[in-house]
Amino acid sequence: MFQVKLSHVCTIEHVASRSFLPPLPPDASCCARFLRFLKKMILITEINPNSMNFFRSTAEILDERRQQVKSGSWIIHPFSIFRLYYEIYMAIVLFLWLIYLPLDASYDNYLTKEIFIINYCFNALGIVDIFVNFTTGYKSKKKETIVMKWSSIACNYMFSFYFLGDVLALTPELPAYANNRKLDSLLDLLSLTKTVRIFTYLNYLETLFNYFRIKAGAQTVVKMFTLAFLLIHDLACIFPMMATSSEIFDTSGKIEMKLNLHISEENLATDFKSLYIRNLYTACSYILGVDIRFKFHYPWSFYVTAILGYFIGKFLLLFATEKLKKEINYHTCRRLVNNVQIFQSLTRELVEEILHHLKPEIYLPNDIIVKAGSEGDCMYFLASGTVAVVSPSGKEICHLEDGDYFGEICLLYSNLKRTANIIALEISEVYKLDRKSFKKSMENNLPLYKKLQADAKKRYRETRDIERMIMTASHRQIFDTQSIASNNQSANLFNVN
C-alpha cells in the first residue's frame, strides 16, 4: 500500500589538483607554502592568453603542465602567470626606458644630476630582466614546441641581438669616467642598442591588450600612436647626438658646419625643455617635408599648447553636427568669403555649402599649381598669396592675388584641357573645389554658373589671343631672320662674282 522512497546518494570522486603538484601536509611550514605558490606561478596556465594561441586545447595545456611538474625544473614557462604579469609590467618599463635612453645620450649636459638616479633604477631593472630571460623558456619556431632546457635557453638568448643591447644598456654613471667626455659619450651611444627592444615592447603590449580583451582596432591605433611618438622623440634626439658622435670619432668639420647652420647662435636654448621642444618641432617639420626656420618668439609652453590645441580641435570636429561644421567652416574662411567677389551675391546658406566642399592646400614659391595641357578636375580659390598666369609658350599673362579664382574653364567645358600654367610666386594658400562638388553647388544657383561661364569665356579668349600673338610674332621673327640670312648669302655670292 505504501511505497518506500529510496534516496540515492551520489559520490563524487576526488579530483587531483590541476597543478599536478604533490599536496602539502597540513602542518607545512610557511616557507614550504611560499615555495609551492612560486611553483604555481611559473607553471603554464590557460589564464595567459598566449597559451591558448599556441596550444590548440586545454588538454594540451594540462599535458604541458604535467610534463613541467614531472621535470622538477624551476625554469619559468613563457605562458605562466608570472610571465603574464611580468610582461605587462615590462611593457611600461620598456616604454619609459626607450624614452630615457635617447635623452641620456643626447642631452647629457642639460639633464640635472638628480635625474641620474633613474639611470641606476633602469640598470637594476635591466639586471633583473637579464636573469629572467636566462630562466624563461622560449618558443621553438621550427619544432613548434616550448624549450625548457636551461642550456638551450642560455644559448638562444646569448646568440640573439637582444642580449648585446641588454648588456650595453647597463652603463652606470661611475666617477671613473665621469671626467672623460669621449668615453662617457661613447658609452651613452652604445646604450642605444637597447632600442632593438622595440619589437619586444610591441609583443608585451599585445599580451597586455589580449589579457584585458581590448579590440583589435583599438590595439592598432595605440600601437601606431606609440610608434609615431617614439619615432619623433628619437628624431628630436638626433641633432645633439650628431655633435656627440662627431666629437667621439673626430670626423671632418662637415657635420659641425651643418650643425652650425642648423642651430644658429641666436636660437641656442639654455635649458633642456626649450632645446627639446625646439628639436621636437624640427623633427615634426622634417617628417612633414617642410623646411621650417623655427625661433622661440614665445615660451615653449605656447607652442605646445598651440600644437595640442590643433589636434584636439580636429578631434572634437568629428563629433560636431553637419550644421555646426558648416558654421565653423564659414567663420574660419571669413577672409576668403570677403575677398572673393562672386561670394558677395550669394546667400549665406549657399556659401556655407560651397565652403563645406573646399579643401585647403599650401604652395611654396615656384610650385606649379596648374600645368597647361593637363586634364582639369577642379578649380581653385586664392585665399592669400600671389600666383602668375603663364601661357603654354612661357609668356607671363598676369598675376592673381587674394580673392581671385582660376581653373574653372575645365569644369565648365569638359572637353577642354588646362589653357595656362599657374605658378606660385610666394607662399600661397588656395582652396580646391573638385568637379563633383562644383556640379552639386551649381545645381541651385544658375546666376553664379552663368557668371563663371562668362568669366571663363573671357579668360579663354584672352589667353588664346595672347598665345596667337606670341606665335605670330615668333613666326614673323623667324621669317625675318631667314630673309636676312638669305639676303646676306646673295650679297656674298654677288661680291664673289
- Residue 174's pLDDT band (cuts 50, 70, 90): low
Chain segment 40-81, per-residue pLDDT in tens: 999 999 999 999 888 888 899 999 999 999 998 999 999 999
**Predicted local distance difference test score (pLDDT) of residue 496:** 46
Last residue of a domain, one of 253, 288, 315: 315
Are the CB atoms for 386 and 392 separated by under 8 Å? no
Residue 23 lies in a domain: no
Residues 50 and 112 in one domain: yes
Residue 292 lies in a domain: yes
Chain segment 207-217, per-residue pLDDT in tens: 999 999 999 88
C-alpha 342/C-alpha 304 separation (Å) is 39
**For the chain, what is the mean pLDDT?**
79
Last residue of a domain, one of 287, 315, 343: 315
Residue 437 lies in a domain: yes
Residues 209 and 255 in one domain: no
- Domain holding 433, by residue range, is 322-471
Are the CB atoms for 18 and 62 separated by under 8 Å? yes
Alpha carbon 80 to chain centroid distance? 35
Residue 92 lies in a domain: yes
Residues 246 and 172 in one domain: no
Are the CB atoms for 338 and 373 separated by under 8 Å? no
Residues 45 and 182 in one domain: yes
Chain segment 239-252, per-residue pLDDT in tens: 777 655 545 444 44
Question: Residue 397: phi, psi to the nearest 5?
Answer: -90, -50
Residues 203 and 248 in one domain: no
- Residue 257's pLDDT band (cuts 50, 70, 90): very low
- Residue 158's pLDDT band (cuts 50, 70, 90): very high
Number of domains forming the structure of the chain: 3
**Predicted local distance difference test score (pLDDT) of residue 12:** 42
- Residue 290's pLDDT band (cuts 50, 70, 90): low
**Predicted local distance difference test score (pLDDT) of residue 154:** 95
Last residue of a domain, one of 315, 349, 373: 315
**Predicted local distance difference test score (pLDDT) of residue 80:** 95
Q: Specify the higher pLDDT residue, 268 or 374.
A: 374
Chain segment 417-434, per-residue pLDDT in tens: 888 899 999 999 999 988
Residue 495 lies in a domain: no
Residue 27 lies in a domain: no
Average pLDDT over residues 479-487: 56
Average pLDDT over residues 464-489: 63
Residue 150 lies in a domain: yes
Which burial class, exposed, middle or buried, applies to 166 when counting CB atoms under 10 A from its CB (0-12, 13-18, 19+)? buried
**Predicted local distance difference test score (pLDDT) of residue 304:** 64
Tallying the residues shown for the chain, one arrives at 497
C-alpha 411/C-alpha 434 separation (Å) is 9
Residues 207 and 66 in one domain: yes
Residue 115 lies in a domain: yes
Question: Residue 75: phi, psi to the nearest 5?
Answer: -70, 135
Residues 343 and 309 in one domain: no
